[in-house]
Structure formats: structure tokens, C-alpha cells
Amino acid sequence: MSLDLVVVGLGYVGLPLAARACEAGLTTAGLDISDAVVEGLNAGRSHVGDVPHGAVAELLASGFRAGTDPAVIGTADTVVICVPTGLSTDGEPELAAVRSAARAVADHLRPGMLVVLESTSHPGTTEETVRPILEERSGLIVGSDFHLVFSPERIDPGNASFGVRNTPKVVGGVTPLCAKYGATFYSRFVDAVVVARGTREAELAKLLENTYRYVNIALVNEVAQFCDQVNIDVWDVLRCAGTKPFGYVPFDPGPGVGGHCIPIDPLYLASKAREEGFTFDVLDAARAVNDRMPQHVVGRAEELLQEREKPIQGARVLLLGVTYKRDVADTRESPAFPVARELMRRGAEVLFHDPYVNSFTVDGSDMSKVDDVDAGLASADLAILLQAHAEYGTGALSRSACLLLDTRGVAAGERVARI
């Protein structure tokens, strides 16, 4: 049986892609190395917040099946690689999953097949890492025997306005014909396709998108630190600046940067720049600012406790919201980790509450979860609002029974302080 599409990697990127492709009528299968993920999907259970269980049921009804056998690749006209990329222990790009997926594709590559890499990486990955694996293991040649493109994922977890269908898709091909095949494929289920000059341009576009956010977040984080020092209300500054209808894009400060993209993608860009003998001075400065933000938050927390003649050592501190994003069940690279780590280093007892997270482990230590927010606030010396989930009503926070350090600028009251 021939398939329109096989998605390799059924996580935060691959599963929404597969869901949209099936919705548009493409015959689709999924491949993943996790038995738990595969078994759960085939039983109708989703592990990705943006794809509810009902959507998985619709996937299965359309004929979709997940599996762990790479042989399914050989039945597809198009294969899209959506495996995770991250950083190694020394902070360098980690492409082991991409290489493994490329080998699996190469072993089942057929003439005429379209191969797409969506996994975020530095410029040159498609042609310098993926292409050699595909050609050497298969004996086929890109551009004549098969087609290879890079199309950066633009998944924004929890975004109700933009999804796979209505987010423009950038496509860069190894050859112009590769790009044409890639654009034709995505046009089947995406509203708008943007063709890049090549794969490197498409790869760098993805890194630029998130580096732009990273740098601007660093700017407002540093402004927030300055405002704290000179007693200026940073949130009112941002409110006023945000009224300008041109030349200004609003960003908010916070306890740090989190998620898979914003903290990671700029480091891919910096790594590639070093490799080429180039230094991004602005990026290095932004990283320094963002990296010290969790310590700034804990420093403010200690100041608040000292004002009440309560030392931070032995203080009971409740973290509210430990995910990296509002109303999303994802703790990847969440600033809650370094905040909790620094609190513990200073001797505080750390507890947490989050409606989306059942367990929160920092450096091997399981933080105690508070089930009832009001009770948790009543028993804490200080609470730190790290993520403004909708469940945390601003009125209730403003009436907090304990000191509250608000890192999101949503609460106000006698016991509330903001960064």
C-alpha cells in the first residue's frame, strides 16, 4: 500500500503535522522510537496538548497508524523528519536524532521520494549532515533520483489562532526542483507556502525568528532590572510604550526564557557562527541577561522576606506555575528549574502548584506539590508567580495570604510585589 506521507517523530511537531495532513485527506502513517507513544496513539490517547484525544480518534478513523518499524518509510511518497534537536552537555548542538532518522530514511529511500527535514538546526544541516547520509546509504542522488528540502517547523503550543494550516510554511530545496516538490506537497494542506532561495536560508530563517524573540526578551528583562533599581514601574512603562502603533513590538519580562525553541535556537546560531569565525555580540549579551534573570527573581524574593524580618533560609516558598508557557503542560527549559535551584541553594523550602504538572523534579529532588492554591498561599512565607495560568485568577492572587512576587505583571495588592 502506497502512502502520501510518513511522519518520523510524533512529538510536539510531528503529531500536529500528521493530524493536519490527515484532515486534508492525505494517507498518513507515523513512526516513533517510543513504544509508549505508539501504543498510546493507536489506542486513541494523545500525549501532545495541541492534539486532543478526539483528534487522535479522527486520525485513526482516517486510516492513520503509528509504529516503530522503519520499513513503513518505503511505502511513502513523502517523508517528513520531525525528531527533536537540543544541546549536548557542553552546550553544543545535538543532532544524534536527526542522523538516526536520516539513516532510517536512507535505508528505505525510493526513487522519486520527497524527504523533508523540519527539525530545527544550524544552517548547513540539511546539505552537510542529512544529504550525505541519504546519498551514501541509498546510492541515490539528490535532485535527480529523489528530492530533499528543509521546512522549519513553526508550531506554537497553546496558540488557538495559528496552527499548521494557517501558519505560512517556508520551504528551501537543495535544488530548485526539490523546492518545487516541497512547495507542492505543503500546498496540499497549508494555506501559504514561502519558497526560500535554498536550505541554508530556510534554516537560518527559523533561527532568526526565535533569536529575535530571545534578544527582545533580554532587552525588557534588563529594563525590568533597571526599573527595580531606580523604583520605576516597568509594567506601566511597557503599557505606555505598547500604545505606539508603529516601530515598536511589545515584549514582556519574566523569570527567564523557556520552551524548546527560544532558549535553544539562538545557541545553534551562535555555535554555527563560532564555527565560521564570527561572533554575535548582541546574542552573547542577550544570553547573559536572560541567564541571570532567575537569580534576579530569587534576589527579589529574598529582599521581600528580609523586609518582613524573615530569612530565606528555612522560608517556605511556593512556586505558582512551573511550565514554560501559560496554559501549556510543558516544562521544557522552564525558568522554574533555575529559580527552584537557586532557592534551594539559599536554604528555602520549595513547594509548587501547577494545574498542568503532577511532578516537578529539580536536580533529583522531587518538589512537594500543593493541591489547593489558597491553602498553599496561607501556609507559605512567600509565593512566586512564575506562570500566569488562567486558573490563577488575578483577584485571588491580589488577596494572597502571603507575600507574592509577581513575575508576570498581573496581580496587585498590599502583599504583592512585581519584578
C-alpha span between 114 and 276 (Å, rounded): 30
C-alpha span between 77 and 234 (Å, rounded): 53
Residue 58 identity: E
Q: Are 268 and 334 in contact (CB under 8 A)?
A: no
Q: Are 318 and 397 in contact (CB under 8 A)?
A: no
In the block, cell 498518513 appears at 28
Nearest CA-CA partner of 400 in 415, 419, 417: 415
Task: Specify whether 261 is catalytic.
Answer: yes
Q: Are 308 and 402 in contact (CB under 8 A)?
A: no
User: For 45-52, which contacts have Cβ atoms below 8 Å and span 24 or more sequence positions?
Assistant: 46/15, 47/15, 48/11, 48/12, 48/15, 48/16, 49/157, 49/158, 49/328, 49/329, 49/330, 50/12, 50/16, 50/155, 50/157, 50/158, 50/163, 51/15, 51/16, 51/19
C-alpha span between 102 and 137 (Å, rounded): 10
C-alpha span between 149 and 332 (Å, rounded): 28
Phi, psi of 223 (to 5 degrees): -60, -40
Phi, psi of 53 (to 5 degrees): -55, -35
Indicate which residue of 22, 82, 227, 261 is catalytic.
261
Residues annotated as catalytic (active site), given as ranges: 261
